[in-house]
Structure 1
Amino acid sequence: MSENKSTVLVEAKELVQPRLKLTYPDVHIPLNRRVQKNINRDIHNVLTGMLRADQYPNAEDKEFGGGYEVKANESQVLSLVFELYYYADGTAHGMVTYRSRTYNTQTGHAYTLAELFRRGSDWQKRLNKEIKRQFKKRDIPQTAPFETVIESTDYFVTPQDLVIYFQLYEYTPYAYGVPEFAIPMASLQDIANPSGPLARIGT
């Protein structure tokens, strides 16, 4: 497989507006402009949704910033994490939100967590067991009990791992930060969708 087919170019761009400074990814796929357009449109929609959820531009007492990180870019898989933070007047600390997308760079499809696995597999049971094990082993403080992952649970992939993460205050106190649970792809190959990211990268 040639490198130009397995990876895509991701260029950092900056959006500067009143009370907002945001660095975001601009994806380039010269041989497939349609997919390029669809991925960049989806990225725009994700970021717009994050800003609206945090009340930008209406919240005039908040200063916003953000960026992104490329977690995987190989084997026709692009996994991105978006960060948005703000500081409000009179508050003790800022707030941060993370969202992520994992794309098939041949089709532009963004995979849900459920789509990483074979239909009918016990993927939820497997992930739940591992996340609960890590909560206990790592002695992570909890403000609410973790029960289960769902189709829309936040995740990203790296070349080695599937990483599940949760937002501030979702299960842990603010001081702990955003908890991440890395699960080796090799341990999930028996239930991985054979055409999905776990099988593409993890083998």
Structure 2
Amino acid sequence: MKFPVRIVTKKIPHNSPNVNIYFPAVANLNNPDAQAKINHAIMTLLNEILIEQSYYKPELVEMVAYYEIKNNQRGILSLNLIVYSFTGGAHGMTIIKSLTFDTASGKQYSLKELFKEGSDYVKQLSAIIQVDIEKWNIQLLDEFKAIRPDQDFYIADTSLVVYFQLYEITPYYWGFPYFPIPILDVADIIMPNSPLDTMMAFT
């Protein structure tokens, strides 16, 4: 049995009380190389988001960064990094980015790597999402055609959750559009031994 990995919360020091940056780090893994890979990937992505959210710019007024663990079982770790920043104007801006790992090897998975090579996963996932958009009467900025091949996602137990950033397909007030897709609904195109395959074995 593969147990959950230990997650510790760390904070980046900052002079301003309005800037609070918390992030996760994996600890006590049996494989030190895997642990280093995972923690390096987390820090690299966090820094990219901080740059995009004006962390290093003088106009920054407020910033809050935190995380959510979406899956930590069966050797699969999937998490979200959330960064809110305010630099003036009508409202602040939030970015959510996700990372999914095999905790034994430290390998990070892209959306494409969850599916069989040559499978039209973009078309299949987009069709499922299109049905949900119509069913939930989601207001769009423009006609929805398809997800990006590298669309944001995370794994939550027996679902693949595909989501969009603020303003990506909907107005700001709609928040983040999330589309949970049961793993069994895409079972025919799942890559063997991928995180989805691992989680599907327990559905």
TM class by shorter-chain length? over 0.9
Shift of 1:127: 0.2
For 1:135, give the aligned amino acid: I
Kept in 2, the 8 Å contact 1:10–1:25? The answer is yes
Match runs of 1:1-203 below 5 Å: 1=1, 5-19=2-16, 20-89=19-88, 91-203=89-201
Taking only the aligned residue pairs, the percentage that are identical comes to: 34
Q: How many residues align?
A: 199
Q: Hey, what's the Cα distance between the residues in 1 that align with 2:130 and 2:154?
A: 19
Q: CA RMSD in A?
A: 1.3
Report the TM-score, using the length of structure 1 for normalisation.
0.93
Shift of 1:189: 1.5
Kept in 2, the 8 Å contact 1:72–1:157? The answer is yes
For 1:76, give the aligned amino acid: G
Q: Hey, what's the Cα distance between the residues in 2 that align with 1:6 and 1:121?
A: 32
> Kindly tell me: are residues 147 and 59 of structure 1, through their superposed partners in 2, closer, same or farther at Cα, counting changes over 3 Å?
farther
Shift of 1:138: 0.3
Kept in 2, the 8 Å contact 1:77–1:103? The answer is yes
Describe the superposition over 1:144-197 as per-residue Cα deviations: whole angstroms up to 9, x where unpaired: 222222331100000021000100001100101010001001111221111111
> What's the secondary structure of 2:63's corresponding residue?
strand
Shift of 1:92: 2.1
Report the TM-score, using the length of structure 2 for normalisation.
0.93
Shift of 1:201: 0.8
Q: Which aligned runs of 4 or more in structure 1 are off by greater than 4 angstroms? A: none
Q: Hey, what's the Cα distance between the residues in 1 that align with 2:28 and 2:75?
A: 11
For 1:131, give the aligned amino acid: I
> What's the secondary structure of 2:96's corresponding residue?
strand
Shift of 1:7: 2.1
* Comparing 57-66 and 185-194, the one that deviates more: 57-66
Q: Hey, what's the Cα distance between the residues in 2 that align with 1:146 and 1:112?
A: 22
For 1:16, give the aligned amino acid: P
